[in-house]
Amino acid sequence: MFKGSNVALVTPFKNDKLDEDTYIKLIHFHIKNGTNGLVPAGTTGESPTLSHDEHEKVIELCVKESKGKLPVFAGTGSNSTEEAISLTTHAEKIGADGALIVTPYYNKPTQEGLYQHYKAINDKCGIPIIIYNIPGRSVIDMSVETMARLYELKNIIGVKDATGDLNRVNQTLQKMGKDFIQLTGNDDNAFEFNKRGGVGAISVTANIAPKLCSDFQKFSKSESENEIKEAEKLNRILEPVHHAMFVESNPSPVKFAAKLLNLCDDNVRLPLVKVTENTKEIVKKALQSAKLI
């Protein structure tokens, strides 16, 4: 249901307001260019600085415009359990296919606290939930054992793993089996991640290279030797782009890249700022090397 190249959608702004028209164009850009799934209101969508109304709006637009053509897993996480429940039940009500829920940041819950947080959300909704484990932003790291406990609940179906630890793929596969969906949150390790048992990515790079990312994901899971070689080739092409997207804090670099491709403006909300001139050159060179510009 949710595999391959799934885009962590940027949220375009105009005069510091949600630019709905551009956002709708972005959704249709992905529908036309092979993206396998849409993830609105995540980290790349600047969820920390979206108002509650904006957060709900970007999910609604995504569901409405995709019209069932692509699955929508809405970012509905929060470090407030009640707020996460509210966002998740709203996403379910408007027709999202599932929810991507980040581990609570700043609070630093224990493993038991993590379990109870997700259990509370699970018990209040009826849509699939993907755990988003990203210690670099959340400080805490959900253990494989805690995920295994959560997998016993009715709605928990997988993880977006942004730990950067490829051994986690093997450990999770051994503990939960192949039906537990494993998606990488790190574009740069997607090839090895898939070789170890992952089924795709929730990707930043897909914002600007949807066809390349989609083809790479498709070929990387093929049993054909020729298609695996094609995946290796695409991975080499994409590597400089992946790197450039994280020279500064995401999503500032990818928004600048999107501006170069006339997809949206590069405005971000404070405390994020636009990228420096040096980073602009790195992004330009990466896009040129991948023949995106």
Task: Give the residue numbers marked as catalytic.
Answer: 132, 160
Among 104, 110, 109, 108, smallest CA distance to 133 is for 104
Q: What SS3 state is found at 45?
A: coil
Say how far apart CA 185 and CA 57 lie, in whole Å: 24
* Cβ-Cβ contacts under 8 Å for 40 (sequence gap 6 or more): 9, 11, 58, 59, 61, 62, 72, 74, 75
Task: Name the burial class of residue 258, with classes exposed (0-12), middle (13-18) and buried (19+) by CB atoms within 10 angstroms of its CB.
Answer: buried
Token pair listed for 158: 């997988």
Among 2, 27, 29, 28, smallest CA distance to 97 is for 2
